[in-house]
Chain A
Amino acid sequence: MNLIKKCNYIFFAIVGLTILLTSCNKDDVKGITPADEVVGLQKADSIVNGSYTFYIYKKNIGNFVVGYNEVYIQLKNNKTNKYVEDATLSWKPLMHMAMMSHACPYSSISKVENTKTLYKGYFIFIMASNASEYWEIAYNYTNGNDTIAKATNRLTVDDVAGRIRYKSFKGVDNTSYFLALVDPTTPKVGTNDITAYLYKKVDMLTFNPVQNYTVEIDPRMPDMDNHTSPSNVNLTYDSTTGLYKGKLNLTMTGYWKISLIVRDASNTIQKGESITGTTTASSIYFELEF
């Protein structure tokens, strides 16, 4: 008798649990709204042009900074009150200086994977703005050859107050190079994916990605007698993403200075020095602190 009772309890428990789990699943299936797609992002700007609004988002609070900046965009049709899901978007950054103007390295704009309304691109700002000199971004929404909407806005770009994640330098080939660290944004002890973009200046308005170079890394802790970590993997060009990718090992938390050597496709050093003898750091480096 007792046994049967026990069996009954177990049966009801299983049935109950199944119902509970099933209902949970139902909840999960509900639709994702455009608002859901920007959860975790900070709205940087919104610009209205005609019946369209460009919403500009970034990952962090605060102004844009010199170096790598990821930018997210949503485009809303104010007439239909719907977000555009198949927009062809483009942009152009321009620095207005007193005597001249110039652009900076930047990407094209593409749809963020697994989203319906979110677009993404980046700028690598090469200087900060100030009271008289400013960055201006021109956004374009096109369909074929027709421009449907365009907008411009000014950005405040600050010098980075903290650790260095961006370097510009002149190579031995007399070309201006621009190297910007993308990841890690939140470094951890252990093996980190390290990624960076490398551009060169063609003219004031043209900055092209550099392909098939190598960025050698040598992470050091100046506070620990220039301690380094083992098995780091130099950054090499990944043609699918345009990123330079490598592996960065960090043996502890704290302040790390990552000395860099940039070699071109023929393995010639364009910039940077090895750490030997009295040389404790390369002339180009990134910094991380966590």
Chain B
Amino acid sequence: MTKTILFIGICFGFSLTSFSQNTADSIRNLQLKEVVVTWKSGLDSINEFKPLSTVDEYMQKLNKVNLIKRGGYAWEPVINNMATERISVTIDGMKIFCACTDRMDPVTSYVGILNLDNIHVGSGLAGNLHSTNSIGGGLDLKLQKAGFHAKKLNISLNSAYETNGNYRIIGSGLAYSSLKFYTNTGIFYRKSDNYKAGGNSTVNFSQFEKLNLFTNFGYRLSAQKSIEGTVIYDVASNVGYPALTMDVKSAKGLITSLSYRQENISEVFFNWETKLYFNNIIHVMDDTKRPNIAMHMDMPGKSRTGGYYSTLNGRVGKHNFIISHDSYYNQSSAEMTMYPSDPSNKPMFMYTWPDIRTFNAGLTLDDKYIIDLKNTLQLTTKASFQRDGVESTFGYNTLQMYYPNMTQYQNRGLWSVSGKYTHYLQDIQLKAGVGYGTRAPSPTEAYGFYLYNSFDNYEYIGDPQLKNESSVEGNIAFALTKPKYSISLDGSYFYFSNYIIGKPNANLSTMTIGASGVKVYQNLNHATIFNANLNTKYIFLKYFHWLNHLGYSLGQDNNNNPLPLIAPFSYSTSLDYVNKKFSAGVDLQGATKQVNYSAEYREDLTPAYFIVNTSVGYDFTFGHVAPAVKIGIENLLDRKYSTYADWNNIPRKGRNVYINLKINL
């Protein structure tokens, strides 16, 4: 029997089955801002659009999250039209930072879909308790945990195939729970060749391969005390980036954590968690497969983060409070060696991230005051101390040519405060919030050196003497929820001071052959970003779900010119039929043409587009072993299109037929 399981595991792969976690609290907010997307990858997979999709494809389903694409893999999440440097991405509260100077490896790429229980998306300054240096919001990737339950072993096997790109997915895992001990363990492998855009045109260098190994475990020391641990090892190799001039040879991430949890401590304190974590990312770019490159380069990068947090939850009367202390230390280092076309000349070496070190320690206080059944007031504040600088003398000497007065290390104070008022009136929920927050410049913005941006064709240099960026945020939301339908409308407005963005400096000389110029990060006096969303849901004829989304955004700099990478007016509508074992769905997504594009950042007018996806699924059951088969078609009309968020307008996937197979043992 064991051999059979092993055999099937190898043949099909298997996925980790989640043990349901209660997310009732989140569901209430689903129509509002703190979107929590949950997938139960195992049992009710039939309800999922595409169970074995990537984390990226899942994030794409979230109205609050946009994704910047540079290829078929590792998309960069954007919240409220703010990307990596303005949002925080954590894994179970752990800080983790990408190792690639060219944003080829957003940290969401180091986890697999079946590592995850859900993704918590927080919007704005109050977005995420564990966030630091974020203004736009936060993503917290919550890991799968079997939990302490009655003894149960669950093994599920998974495999999938997609026609577009000859994409193969295979995985295997195990979930075991008991009252004393639990574990989730698994392995997952994906491989795709180049995908095809609409019209059967192959997008070269869009291939990827990814292996993900993970384990979580928990051990209960006593009724109230437990320890938990996580180890994730993720290797992506031979990853193509058609929008960039380079690919990735390998991106390796090791993510580890150990936490101690104590529950029901006293009348006041009911939960206390302390977690120690360490993660290490090594990223190696590769240009050897590209034809006609002007110059071969080696560009390795690494990012290591060690940290801890200690979070205490409590309640006094009508006050639900959280006190959290967190601290981390990050090393981000990247270098570039260029090999001249004349081999008798020596290779050229420089640091693009000159061994940047960041230490940050902060204290968060959060209080949710339930005034009465109808009114809730939540106040959150975080203050942190940051010391950052360049450890490499080589790198320090380099930056000093540009900033003779800079110091090797510097201290910054950061803080944020936000308040949110919620009013419930029968089926209606009203929310209004205000906040103020600051963020320190990112390693790239402060210390980056000659980072080539293939989008605007400029090279970017950081400025260690930048001021902190700050923003005032106002947001308002309205939701009406009826059994048969729901409507929600929300809007947020950010007014930035000292907005950090690159501006050309004509005195500086380019390095990359053919680059238009050099930009240096600067503090703009001010900038604004406005976002508005309308969501509706209608359930009819018992089995039909009709969802609509409209989104509008506007981003402007201090001269009222458009900021780059701001979403145009976008819409989506979907109709799903869900009836026990059978499910089917059709959805249409589109956007109007991008009127407010930023020519300064070499954006062009992205034309209007729409695409249609359809999917059907059926759940076959044989006794207690339950294979679930899901078949679907994406981009049915095989349209060739790209969106505002597609780097250098690379076209997205054309028609794709997929089949997902899952067996629960």
Once bound together, how far apart are the Cα atoms of A227 and B400, in whole Å? 18
B342 at interface (Cβ–Cβ under 8 A)?
yes
How far in angstroms is the closest Cβ of chain B from A221?
7
Q: In this complex, what residue of B is CB-closest to A191? A: B401
A265 at interface (Cβ–Cβ under 8 A)?
no
Once bound together, how far apart are the Cα atoms of A289 and B346, in whole Å? 7
B349 at interface (Cβ–Cβ under 8 A)?
yes
**B8-16, B506-514, B634-642 - the one binding chain A:** B506-514
What number of residue pairs across chains A and B have CB atoms under 8 A from each other? 80
How far in angstroms is the closest Cβ of chain A from B397?
3
Q: Select which of B338, B401, B510 is within 8 A of A190 by beta carbon.
A: B401
Contact residues in A for B346 (Cβ distance below 8 Å): 253-255, 289-290
Q: In this complex, what residue of B is CB-closest to A290? A: B346
Once bound together, how far apart are the Cα atoms of A188 and B349, in whole Å? 11
We find that the number of chain B residues with CB closer than 8 angstroms to chain A is 28
Q: Mark B340-354, 1 if CB is under 8 A from A, else 0.
A: 111001111110000
A204 at interface (Cβ–Cβ under 8 A)?
no
A252 at interface (Cβ–Cβ under 8 A)?
yes
B507 pairs with A230, CB closer than 8 A: yes
- Give the contacts of A224-256 with B (CB-CB under 8 A): 224-231, 249, 251-255
Q: Select which of A191, A230, A289 is within 8 A of B397 by beta carbon.
A: A191
B394 at interface (Cβ–Cβ under 8 A)?
yes
Contact residues in B for A189 (Cβ distance below 8 Å): 349-350, 394, 397-398
Q: In this complex, what residue of B is CB-closest to A220? A: B509
Q: Select which of A223, A230, A251 is within 8 A of B345 by beta carbon.
A: A223
Once bound together, how far apart are the Cα atoms of A188 and B510, in whole Å? 20
B295 at interface (Cβ–Cβ under 8 A)?
yes
We find that the number of chain A residues with CB closer than 8 angstroms to chain B is 22
How far in angstroms is the closest Cβ of chain A from B313?
42
Q: In this complex, what residue of A is CB-closest to B449? A: A251
Contact residues in A for B394 (Cβ distance below 8 Å): 188-190
How far in angstroms is the closest Cβ of chain A from B512?
8
A223 pairs with B295, CB closer than 8 A: yes
Contact residues in A for B508 (Cβ distance below 8 Å): 230
Task: Please report B residues at the A interface, Cβ cutoff 8 Å.
Answer: 295, 338, 340-342, 345-350, 394, 396-398, 400-402, 404, 450, 507-514
Task: Please report A residues at the B interface, Cβ cutoff 8 Å.
Answer: 188-191, 221, 223-231, 249, 251-255, 289-290
Known A-B contacts: A189-B350, A190-B401, A191-B397. Give 20 more (CB < 8 A): A188-B394, A188-B397, A189-B398, A190-B394, A190-B397, A191-B401, A221-B348, A221-B511, A223-B295, A224-B295, A225-B510, A227-B510, A230-B507, A231-B402, A252-B348, A252-B350, A253-B349, A254-B346, A254-B348, A255-B340
Q: Report 21 cross-chain contacts, Cβ distance below 8 Å, ordered by A residue.
A: A189-B349, A189-B350, A190-B400, A221-B511, A223-B295, A223-B340, A225-B510, A225-B513, A226-B509, A227-B509, A229-B509, A230-B401, A230-B402, A231-B404, A251-B511, A252-B338, A254-B340, A254-B348, A255-B345, A289-B345, A289-B346
